[in-house]
Amino acid sequence: MSILKDTVKLTDSVERLNAANMKLQEKVEGIDGRVIRLETRLDTYVEIANRNRLESD
């Protein structure tokens, strides 16, 4: 009987850890999206700066 109780406790712990992991994964995916947008924006700024520099030379 105690093995069954321990198994149930472990199952609950695993389910909580899995839920926490899913929340973290969602946050990481959100951060990834923001980083990609920032990189794209930076690339655009660099292209504009290079174009302006070439035009002014």
57 pLDDT above the threshold of 80: no
Structure confidence at residue 56 (pLDDT): 86
**pLDDT digits 0-9 by tens, 11-45:** 999 999 999 999 999 999 999 999 999 999 999 99
Q: What is the pLDDT of residue 36?
A: 96
The Cα-based distances of 20 to 13, 25, 52 in angstroms read 11, 9, 48
Nearest to 34 by CA among 44, 42, 22: 42
- Residue 1 pLDDT exceeds 90: no
Q: Is the pLDDT of residue 48 over 90?
A: yes
